[in-house]
């Protein structure tokens, strides 16, 4: 049986070689397994605050659209923030 809603769009934005992206990627995968919410996860390297996690275009840590400039982020999203954003995005 298929879901009536399309899968969420999850984007991991980072600069090349970001040392924290693997930690965020692991947290996202953990939260997706825990919630069972279907999502398409996309890794994108470029000129972004790194790492940034977007769910349906919204930065999970700030609640805003991403700012297009490279910098290091230390405010990594928590499991609670990721789970809340997944549930919000999955709600019609």
pTM of the model: 0.89
Residue 84 forms part of a structural domain: yes
d(CA 59, CA 53): 6
Range of the domain at 48: 14-90
Residue 63 forms part of a structural domain: yes
Q: What is the pLDDT of residues 36-50, one digit of tens each?
A: 999 999 999 999 999
Q: What is the DSSP string of 21-89?
A: HHHHHHHHHHHHHHH---EEEEEEESSSEESEEEETTEETTTSSPPPSS-EE---PPPHHHHHHHHHHH
What's the rounded mean pLDDT across residues 44-66? 93
Q: What is the pLDDT of residues 4-43, one digit of tens each?
A: 678 899 999 999 999 999 999 999 999 999 999 999 999 9
1 pLDDT more than 50: no
Number of domains in the chain: 1
Token representation of residue 33: 């397994």
């Amino acid at each position: 049986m298929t879901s009536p809603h399309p899968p969420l769009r999850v984007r991991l934005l980072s600069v090349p070689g970001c040392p924290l992206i693997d930690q965020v990627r692991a947290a996202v995968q953990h939260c997706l397994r825990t919630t069972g919410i279907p999502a398409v996860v996309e890794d994108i390297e470029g000129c972004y605050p790194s790492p940034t996690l977007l769910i349906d275009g919204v930065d999970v840590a700030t609640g805003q659209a991403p700012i297009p400039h490279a910098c290091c982020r230390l405010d990594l999203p928590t499991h609670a923030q990721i789970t809340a954003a997944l549930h919000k995005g999955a709600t019609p």
